[in-house]
Amino acid sequence: MAAGRGQFFLSLIQGLQQARPGGLRDRKKKPARADLPVPRPPPQPHPPPPCPPPSQPSTVSMPPVFNNRENHIERLPPEIILKIFSYLDADSLLCVTFVNRQFYKLANDNAIWYELYAHEIERKRWRPRLTVLPESLAGVQDMPPGFWKRLTFREMGCPKDTSWKKELRHINPYTGMPAQTQQLLGSLRVSWEITLIQKGGQESVYKQNHNFFSDSSVTVCWKSGMWPRIQQVSTLQLHGVIRPFTSTTTDKPQWRSLISKIHVCRTEKWQFVGTDKLVKLLQFDEGIIVGIWRGTWTIAFIMANLHFHKLVERSLLGSLSCPYRPPEVTMYDDVDPDYDPQGYTVLIVLHNSVRRIMHRRYTRLLCSRDGVRDGFARLRLTSEHTPVLGRISFPWMAEGGLQGDIKNCCMMTVTVLDESQRPLWCLSSAGSLLLSTYNNEQFVLLHSDAKGRVRMRFVWMQDMQQYFLIGLHVCISVTKLNNDSDDVLVQN
């Protein structure tokens, strides 16, 4: 027990001596006990790496560069390249021929161009023409190189190609207009676009939403888009647009032919033709009708009534800034201004954007010398009562499903043919019925310009709930009677 007490005091003395400064420093430390934790020294920060000397630039590791200029497309078998080319349209296939010699040879393969040619023929099946096609693929390859390629582009044609002019030679004896105008416009994929140029220079293009073909005109409607106020518009342009034949993309350039250009900022050209609770109708000189919202004067929709006379040429042969004008014909005849016009034909159609209201045709019209007044030859067509089918109205539709129907307002298409059944005066415009009596029974529809005048008288039969045409007079300028039909300017 004494030994244990002595060992305790000895350990105490050694601990006191180690706590003193300089005490027992030269002695060897005893190993710590296994059951006591040994304190770890605090971590020392690593010194920063030494900077390289300025004389030695630092090197950056770059990925290895492989000088491999091998073209993997050329390693493809010709069959694979032909399979890829078979999915291209005619425009893209023509561009591929300018890449290299191999693509030029493969892109002129008769089998590919035969498929494009057959597709083009199938699209134009309405045309009364016989086409001889080979019965087997062997017959396709037997043709000389580039044979089907030339036929394909010949069928597709370009806007100024004269191949489609042959279709316009077939004249409808009833209307005096080309018989296949509607089919030809559809075959050439002709559509119409409106371009609004604001006073600040901003241009907005609107594509057509609906069209209605009547006997001698087509009514085109535009209703979709962000429309500006009518006071902000400076110029309105109507273009005929040719869409690509075999391509479904819309980013490719399209042929645009200017049909009419109107300066909307000139308010003296505005003519109000009708109104209802929502919109007002404004008509301009070129037969373009603009519907504006009441109160805000924002454009709601635009309609255009286009006459069939030279419509295909005007939609194709114009340019972006210049409309099509027929070639001038030298006149060799010497016609007396007091010559009695006889044998003329007048075709009048009343319609709107969805249906035909009235259609009348008058032939062998005569005019005496007494009928020429103030430079106009008067043709009295009828004084009989002619019934009118349905109500005379102007239906409209705007974006968002808003629609309405303006009463006593419609579109009028007039065609005057000369003795040889050639167009002499063509008119397409809108008009409204005006009260001519105080009993709300008789109405009159008027149109007057430098080329001619039209006056139609209607009576409303209350018991039958129907309009009747009781009078129709057409006056043509004597100067216009002496001009050739090729110089006729269509008044849309």
- The predicted-structure confidence for 57-109, as pLDDT tens digits, reads as follows 444 455 555 555 666 777 788 888 888 888 888 888 888 888 888 888 888 88
**Residue for token pair 């030859």:** 377
Cα separations in angstroms, 158 against 161, 189, 468: 5, 12, 48
Contact 271, 283 (CB under 8 A): yes
What fold characterizes domain 78-156? Monooxygenase (1.20.1280)
Instruction: Note the pLDDT of residue 110.
Output: 87
Confidence at residue 26, expressed as pLDDT on a 0 to 100 scale: 47
Q: What is the number of other CB atoms lying within 10 angstroms of the CB of residue 433?
A: 21
pLDDT value for 202:
93
Give the whole-angstrom CA distance, residue 307 versus residue 311: 7
* 158-194 burial code (b ≥16 CB/10 A, e <16): ebeeeebeebbeeeeeebbbbbbbeebbebbebbbbb
Residue type, 35: D
Q: How many CB atoms lie within 10 A of CB 427?
A: 24
Q: What is residue 194's three-state secondary structure?
A: strand
Q: Half-sphere exposure (CA, 13 Å, Cβ side) for 386?
A: 18
Rg of the chain in Å (alpha carbons): 43
Parallel, antiparallel or unpaired: strands 356-366 and 466-477: unpaired
Closest CA to 343 of 420, 426, 414, 415: 420
Give the C-alpha separation, 167 to 127, whole Å: 9
264, amino acid identity: V
DSSP letter string, 442-491: EEEEEEE-SSEEEEEEEEEETTTTEEEEEEEEEEEEHHHHTS-GGGPPPB
With CA atoms as reference, report the closest residue to 193 among 80, 279, 315.
315
Q: Which positions of the chain have pLDDT values less than 70?
A: 1-6, 8-9, 12, 16-71, 123-142, 156-163, 244-253, 328-342, 368-370, 382-383, 438-439, 482-492
Q: Which long-range contacts (CB under 8 A, 24 or more apart) does 275-281 make?
A: 275/406, 276/404, 276/405, 276/406, 276/407, 277/404, 278/402, 278/404, 279/396, 279/398, 279/404, 279/406, 281/394, 281/406, 281/409, 281/430
Burial class of 43 by CB neighbour count within 10 A (0 to 12, 13 to 18, 19+): exposed
Residue 96 to residue 92: CA distance in whole angstroms: 6
What confidence score (pLDDT) does residue 261 get?
A: 93
Q: Say if CB 434 and CB 274 are below 8 A apart.
A: no
pLDDT at 90: 83
CA distances from 24 to 28, 320, 450 (A): 9, 109, 133
Residue 334, pLDDT score:
47
Rounded CA separation 24/299 (Å): 107
Write down the pLDDT at residue 312: 92
Cβ neighbourhood burial of 71 (10 Å; 0-12, 13-18, 19+): exposed
In this prediction, residue 93 carries a pLDDT of 87
**What CA–CA distances, in Å, run from 234 to 45, 266, 268?**
77, 8, 14
Sequence ranges of the chain with CATH classification 1.20.1280: 78-156
